[in-house]
Amino acid sequence: MAHQIDRFLCIASYEKGQDFMRQCAEMGVKPTLLTVEKLRDAAWPREVLEDVHLMPDEYTETDLIRTVCWMARGRQFDRVLALDEFDLDAAAKIREHTRIPGMGVTSTAYYRDKLAMRTGASESGFLVPPFCRVLNYDELRGYMKQVHGPWLLKPRAEASALGIRKIYEPEQLWRTLDELGETQTSYLLEQFVPGDIFHVDSIISEHKVVFSAVHQYGKPPMQVMHEGGVFTTRTVNRQSREWAELTALNGRLAPDLGMARGVTHAEYIRAHDDGRFYFLEIAARVGGAFISDLVETATGINLWREWARLEVAHLRGETYELPDFAERYAGSVLCLATMAEPDTSAFNAPEIVKRMKKHHHAGLIVCSESASRVRELVDQYSAEFAQRFLAALPPPDKPTA
């Protein structure tokens, strides 16, 4: 019998996941990329790809499923991987239609649908800001009487802070729902909880978190998205209460929501009122905004490559083993820039280990053995970035990366 060739189908609506595909190829798996026409000339690792198939920029999930089934006539895909947040639902439906192993539609909802993930987290005993589905108007009226505003009206299926609206009084909600019309049930209403926001990026193997790293944002992402400013995040002190509590919380969350294996990016808020940690959201993907670079700088763990190693190990019936990792501290500073190719050479601290290359963006990553030194540099550089580079634009309707 001929040797079975291992093949992965990677779906990406945005340019990302190159290291995932390279790691697959290095382990003898043939990756095929399914992306969109506008990314035809993106920097994909074509040297390791068995094939690149392009979809029209505007396509339906039915189109995608039919295309994948047509592709599968000539080659057998062992796994279907969504490299971006917005491909998770489609990948789940493809798996169910073709019976390829992996998370199906219901499981994926806990990592994609903000209402589903809040319901699941709350049922598992996690603190969650009080929320209400947008469905029954009497239920909404009762919620707003019991839970004081302001509230956040959040799209259930968007990533990060996209599309969130702050609601100050009931009449504003009713006007907004009138504007949304038939799409309003794709939102949820949640109490706005002021606080400090943290993210935990993890690797899950066989229902267990085997690696996680805790970082704290500077300004909340929603504030940066809607009001402008410099985006920062930095590694939390590993000896702190924040590190211990969030590591423990996160160690229960992903398995409780049903993930068997993969990577996650989860966000939590420490409320100013009571100092407790509340679950905000979780995604079954590598974090964006150069967070994977930040985690690798601090720990030496490349989340894209470890995700690939994890998937290949499971495919082959092998046990995934996490490599040794470092315990350094890292921080990133990133902003939209007024100039096309901003020059960050004036920033010359020896702790700078990476300068980000992205059109109309200024960014860098610092690294140190000292958490306080990283915090000092991030605070200093974020203020200077705001003066030198910062451009202000309206919040986007759709993600840009």
Q: Tens of pLDDT along 317-331?
A: 999 999 999 999 999
pLDDT digits (tens, 9 = 90+) for 184-198: 999 999 999 999 999
Other CB atoms within 10 Å distance of the CB of residue 229: 19
pLDDT at 229: 83
Q: Is 398 exposed, middle or buried (0-12, 13-18, 19+ CB in 10 A)?
A: exposed
DSSP assignment of 154-201:
EESS--TTTT-EEE-SHHHHHHHHHHHGGGGGGEEEEE---EEEEEEE
Which residue is associated with the tokens 């005993």?
125
Tokens 């039915």 appear where? 62
Cβ neighbours of residue 65 under 8 Å, at least 6 residues apart?
A: 90, 93, 94, 97
pTM of the model: 0.93
> DSSP secondary-structure letter at 6?
P
Angle (nearest 5°) at CA 103 between 102 and 105: 135
**Per residue in 80-137, pLDDT tens?**
999 999 899 999 999 999 999 999 999 999 999 999 999 999 999 999 999 999 999 9
Say if residue 2's pLDDT is above 50: no
Residue 1 is predicted with a pLDDT of 38
The CA distance from 190 to 297, in Å, is 35
- Tell me the torsion sign for CA atoms 337, 338, 342, 346: negative
Is 60 exceeded by the pLDDT of residue 399?
A: no
Look at residue 196 in the predicted model and tell me its pLDDT. Answer: 96
Which sign, positive or negative, has the C-alpha torsion 90, 94, 95, 96? positive
Instruction: Say what percent of the chain tops pLDDT 90.
Output: 87
pLDDT score, position 306: 98
Which of 324, 338, 284, 314 minimizes the C-alpha distance to 84?
A: 284
d(CA 79, CA 77): 6
Sorted by where each starts, the structural domains of the chain and their CATH numbers stand as: 7-109 (3.40.50.20), 130-191 (3.30.1490.20), 195-388 (3.30.470.20)
Output the pLDDT for position 162. 75
Buried b (16+ CB within 10 A) or exposed e, 294-315: bbbbbbebbbbbbbbbbbbbbb
What was the pLDDT predicted at 288? 87
pLDDT digits (tens, 9 = 90+) for 137-162: 999 999 999 999 999 999 999 766 67
User: What residues contact residue 15 under an 8 Å CB cut-off, 6+ apart?
Assistant: 39, 42, 43, 44, 401
Q: Within its chain, how far is the Cα of 93 from the centroid?
A: 20
- Whether omega for the bond prior to residue 150 falls within 30 degrees of 0, making it cis, is yes
> Does 225 have pLDDT greater than 70?
no
At 19 the three-state DSSP class reads helix
Quick: pLDDT tens for 286-338.
Answer: 998 899 999 999 999 999 999 999 999 999 999 999 999 999 999 999 999 99
What is the average per-residue pLDDT within 368-379?
Answer: 97
SS3 292: helix
In a 3-state reduction of DSSP, which class is residue 11? strand
Round the average pLDDT of the chain to a whole number and report it: 93
From residue 321, alpha-carbon distances to 21, 81, 153 in Å are 19, 20, 41
The pLDDT of residue 395 is: 56
The residue among 261, 235, 230, 231 whose CA lies nearest residue 246 is 235
SS (H, E, C) 301-364: CCHHHHHHHHHHHHHCCCCCCCCCCCCCEEEEEEEEECCCCCCCCCCCCCCEEEECCECCEEEE
| Position 296, amino acid | E
pLDDT at 401 over 90: no
3-state secondary structure of 120: helix
Give the pLDDT of residue 87.
Answer: 94
Cross-strand pairs, 233: 217, 332
Under the banding of pLDDT at 50, 70 and 90, the label for residue 398 is low
Name the 3-class secondary structure at 305: helix
Closest-CA residue to 44 (of 21, 72, 71): 21
Locate all alpha helices (DSSP H) within 51-169, ordered by sequence. 61-71, 88-98, 105-109, 114-123, 137-146
**pLDDT tens-digit profile of 169-221?**
999 999 999 999 999 999 999 999 999 999 999 999 999 999 999 999 998 77
Residue 54 has pLDDT above 90, yes or no: yes
